[in-house]
């Protein structure tokens, strides 16, 4: 097992450092209390288990309860997490726990809005690799909590030939050979097309699983959908927002990928309320 600190350890080391000096000098070590994290606005919960683990890492004696699971709809005033124990430990863990919860719940909330926008079309919403460094597993879990589907995790688990790969001199025969080799290695293969004509050329190459229609007008997407062979899926990406995603999904593409799910999600408004035991 790796001895490398995980994301929670790194976050606590960043915030707590050698110790919480405010707690050290201004908190009664023997005093106990209850901390409750509540929603201040409507949204979708994600990261509750991560926030709970933050408090446990700060103080293993804390009693942590999560009344709601990730994916739950939140209304203002809903309780997200309840922690009982030493006041100093509750205060030390507060900001790190909230940072995880607010960020991940923001991703889940934005994802849910996009998922609801394409409900009934048969099209699935994908995330991308445009994630916060170090947070990829957590943010992709938040996308799932919001009802989205994860695309590839990284460069290692799926082939995706983009325009910059093609610009590097990858010719038709070389591309076909690469596709065959990747499929022989058990890898799923996706290729990016900037035009319908390019998509049609990719349709003729055996072994391509998905063709990405990048920044194409809706009319061109429909042409690609009508021409695709059996067994090839289509993904639309680029310039897609909540205002136009339903129209894009209605073209018949299988997937729509949105980088904004993880790179532009606004943190959900949550707060911690602390009460000292009598």
**What is the pTM (predicted TM-score) of this model?**
0.95
pLDDT, position 278: 67
The tens digit of pLDDT for each residue in 47-73 reads 999 999 999 999 999 999 999 999 999
Q: Is 24 left (phi over 0), alpha (psi -120 to 50) or beta?
A: alpha
User: Could you list the active site residues?
Assistant: 95, 130, 162, 192, 214
Mean pLDDT, the chain, rounded, equals 95
Phi and psi angles of residue 53, each rounded to the nearest 5 degrees, phi first:
-65, -30
Reported as half-sphere exposure (CB side, CA atoms, 13 A), residue 75 has a value of 0
B/e letters for 172-187, b = 16+ CB within 10 Å, e = fewer, are: eeebbebbeebbeeee
- Whether 33 and 52 have beta carbons less than 8 Å apart is answered as no
Phi and psi angles of residue 204, each rounded to the nearest 5 degrees, phi first:
-85, -5
Residue the block writes with tokens 């927002």: 241
Selection from 246, 273, 225, 278 nearest residue 83 by Cα? 273
HEC letters along 218-232: HHHHHHHHHHCCCCC
Mean pLDDT of the 70-77 span: 98
pLDDT band at 170 (very low <50, low <70, confident <90, very high): confident
Dihedral angle of Cα 102, 10, 88, 48, to the nearest 10 degrees: 30
pLDDT band at 168 (very low <50, low <70, confident <90, very high): confident
Q: Count H helices, E strands: the chain?
A: 11, 12
- Whether 89 and 58 have beta carbons less than 8 Å apart is answered as yes
* 255-257 and 270-276 beta bridge pairing: unpaired
Q: How far apart are CA 116 and CA 2, in angstroms?
A: 40
Domains of the chain: 7-114+266-276 (3.90.1170.20), 118-263 (3.20.20.70)
Give Cβ neighbours of residue 113 (< 8 Å, ≥ 6 apart).
242
Mean pLDDT of the 122-148 span: 97
Phi and psi angles of residue 182, each rounded to the nearest 5 degrees, phi first:
-65, -40
Reported in sequence order, the residue ranges of the chain that DSSP labels E, i.e. its strands, are: 32-39, 43-44, 63-65, 73-74, 79-86, 124-126, 159-161, 189-193, 210-214, 233-237, 255-257, 270-276
The tens digit of pLDDT for each residue in 231-265 reads 999 999 999 999 999 999 999 999 999 999 999 99
pLDDT, position 169: 72
The tens digit of pLDDT for each residue in 11-46 reads 999 999 999 999 999 999 889 999 999 999 999 999
Give Cβ neighbours of residue 76 (< 8 Å, ≥ 6 apart).
39, 40, 41, 42
Q: Name the DSSP letter for residue 160.
A: E
Mean pLDDT of the 117-132 span: 98
pLDDT, position 1: 37
Mean pLDDT of the 115-125 span: 98
Q: Decide if pLDDT at 4 tops 80.
A: no
pLDDT, position 2: 44
Q: What percent of the chain has pLDDT over 70?
A: 98
């Amino acid at each position: 097992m790796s001895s490398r600190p995980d994301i929670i350890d790194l976050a606590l080391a960043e915030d707590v450092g050698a110790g919480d000096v405010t707690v050290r000098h201004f908190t009664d070590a023997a005093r106990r209390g209850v901390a409750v994290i509540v929603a201040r606005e409507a949204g979708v919960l994600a990261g509750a288990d991560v926030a709970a683990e933050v408090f446990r890492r700060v103080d293993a004696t804390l009693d942590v309860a999560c009344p709601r699971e990730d994916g739950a709809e939140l209304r203002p005033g809903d309780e997200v997490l309840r922690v009982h124990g030493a006041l100093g430990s509750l205060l030390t863990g507060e900001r790190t726990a909230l940072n995880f919860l607010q960020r991940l719940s923001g991703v889940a909330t934005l994802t849910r809005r996009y998922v609801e926008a394409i409900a009934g079309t048969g099209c699935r919403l994908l995330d991308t690799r445009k994630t916060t460094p170090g947070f990829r597993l957590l943010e992709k879990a938040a996308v799932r909590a919001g009802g989205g589907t994860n695309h590839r995790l990284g460069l290692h688990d799926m082939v995706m030939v983009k325009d910059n790969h093609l610009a590097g001199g990858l010719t038709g025969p070389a591309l076909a050979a690469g596709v065959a080799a990747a499929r022989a290695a058990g890898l799923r293969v996706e290729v990016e097309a900037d035009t319908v004509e390019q998509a049609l050329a990719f349709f003729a190459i055996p072994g391509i699983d998905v063709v990405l229609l990048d920044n194409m007008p809706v009319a061109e997407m429909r042409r690609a959908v009508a021409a695709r062979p059996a067994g090839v899926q289509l993904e639309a990406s680029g310039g897609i927002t909540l205002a136009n995603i339903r129209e894009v999904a209605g073209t018949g593409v299988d997937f729509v990928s949105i980088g904004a799910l993880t790179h532009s999600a606004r943190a959900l408004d949550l707060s911690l309320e602390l009460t000292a035991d009598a």
